[in-house]
Amino acid sequence: MTRMDASVTPLRVGLLGYGLAGSVFHAPLIATTPGLALDTVVTSDPERQVRARTAGGRDADDVRTVATADELFARADELDLVVVATPNKTHVSLARQALEAGLPVVVDKPLAATAAEAEALADLADERGLLLSAFQNRRWDNDFLTLRSLLDGGALGEVQRFESRFERWRPKPKGGWRESGDPAEIGGLLYDLGSHLVDQALTLFGPAASVYAETDVRRAGAEADDDSFIAVTHAGGVRSHLWMSATAAQLGPRFRALGSEAAYVKYGLDPQEASLREGARPAPGLPWGVEPVFAWGTLGTVDGTRPVPTLDGAYPAYYDAVAVALREGTPPPVTAREAAAALRVLEAARLSATESRVVSLR
């Protein structure tokens, strides 16, 4: 995606929420995307308001802050896009409010708790002629881009099994809504990390035909699932095995893709999140998402293994594509219907784990 000319009058963005998602991912990426300008941040926390006012990347206090979503929507005619980066349980109601106010919307994953809710939002967006997109930044992880390139080039032959992991070692729960046992909070790793893993698998290998899953609560004091597994059989025959865990004292490979001609194995996480957490920002013409040679994955064939240069990570590409979609009417980089497809898999996984059976999606 070619970055938009910075001389174009920027589209004004309102950001709902300034926690982890809002402050680490959305605000920096919006502020550094040519053609977009972070206009207003909604947060009731005084300390976050102070930090948010300088999140636009231009001058001190260049971003407005308001305490409530209603204050933002009262100025709907002054905005061009709303980004919902609030706790999961509020995603649907805030996205609907934005669409009804005539505003295009980006919603952090998961878009909703159920596929039916996601489809209803997609229908509303279609009726209003408005953009609705789910923020699935992991499609622009360096390892995902590299694997996709290998698949497109036929380097693996016919893929038979895809293994993907988001594992952590967090033996003590951190608390908060993400680890709440209340179903209304939509917490737990199945919907948190699983949203990424399932979206990546469906993007690479197409729709799911059946799902089997196991979800467990392993840590003392934990309420929501913290060690889960999903097996997806894709309609095309590929099997995806997806792990998400907070209880892994030693981490498995991030990717292991097994094909008829070769296999690709990759350890370690894309460096972009760590860079954003440390305050680094992408800038045109400067390196971003670059991985050192020692972290490259390997391609194994009958003749042995060789390192595969990892493509640079590209989170900025998401909001670049959003800006183009808003101006030119092209599809967003991630559609609400794609988000609904991933949610159908997550719902099937929850049912499978509860009833200890394979769930058919045909």
One DSSP character per residue, 164-206 reads EEEE-B--S---SGGG---GGG--STTTTHHHHHHHHHHHHH-
d(CA 244, CA 227): 6
Q: Does residue 133 share a domain with residue 147? A: no
- Confidence class of residue 277 from pLDDT cuts 50, 70 and 90? very high
Task: Provide the whole-model pTM.
Answer: 0.94
Query: What pLDDT was estimated at residue 8?
Result: 76
> Does 299 fall in a domain?
yes
For 152, counting Cβ atoms within 10 Å of its Cβ (0-12 exposed, 13-18 middle, 19+ buried), the class is exposed
Confirm if 256 and 265 have CB atoms less than 8 A apart: yes
Query: What pLDDT was estimated at residue 6?
Result: 54
> Does 337 fall in a domain?
no
Q: Which H or E run includes 11?
A: strand 11-16
Q: Does residue 231 share a domain with residue 272? A: yes
> Does 216 fall in a domain?
yes
Report pLDDT digits (tens) over 284-293.
Answer: 889 999 999 9
Q: Does residue 351 share a domain with residue 250? A: yes
Q: Does residue 267 share a domain with residue 156? A: yes
> Does 178 fall in a domain?
yes
Q: Does residue 66 share a domain with residue 213? A: no
Q: Does residue 224 share a domain with residue 132? A: no
Q: Does residue 143 share a domain with residue 71? A: no
- Could you give the angle at which helices 142-152 and 193-205 cross, rounded to 10 degrees? 20
Q: What's the number of domains the chain is made of? A: 2
Query: What pLDDT was estimated at residue 3?
Result: 58
Q: Does residue 111 share a domain with residue 46? A: yes
Query: What pLDDT was estimated at residue 226?
Result: 95
CATH number of the domain within which 17 lies? 3.40.50.720
Confirm if 135 and 110 have CB atoms less than 8 A apart: no
Q: Does residue 154 share a domain with residue 126? A: no
Nearest alpha carbon to residue 98 among 48, 133, 67, 65 = 133
Query: What pLDDT was estimated at residue 56?
Result: 78
* pLDDT of 2 above 70: no
> Does 1 fall in a domain?
no
* pLDDT of 215 above 90: yes
Query: What pLDDT was estimated at residue 284?
Result: 86
Query: What pLDDT was estimated at residue 62?
Result: 86
Q: Does residue 146 share a domain with residue 115? A: no
Query: What pLDDT was estimated at residue 7?
Result: 62
> Does 338 fall in a domain?
no
* pLDDT of 60 above 60: no
> Does 6 fall in a domain?
no
Q: Does residue 147 share a domain with residue 44? A: no
For the chain, what is the mean pLDDT? 95
Report pLDDT digits (tens) over 77-92.
Answer: 999 999 999 999 999 9
- Confidence class of residue 123 from pLDDT cuts 50, 70 and 90? very high
- Confidence class of residue 343 from pLDDT cuts 50, 70 and 90? very high
- How far CA 255 is from CA of 65, 131, 185, 251, 299, in Å, comes to 40, 32, 29, 11, 12
In which domain, by residue range, is 54 found? 11-137+318-331
* pLDDT of 245 above 60: yes
d(CA 212, CA 288): 37
Q: How many CB atoms lie within 10 A of CB 302?
A: 6
- Confidence class of residue 5 from pLDDT cuts 50, 70 and 90? low
Q: Does residue 172 share a domain with residue 258? A: yes
**What does the chain come to in residues?**
362
CATH number of the domain within which 165 lies? 3.30.360.10
d(CA 29, CA 313): 13
- Confidence class of residue 119 from pLDDT cuts 50, 70 and 90? very high
Report pLDDT digits (tens) over 187-208.
Answer: 999 999 999 999 999 999 999 9
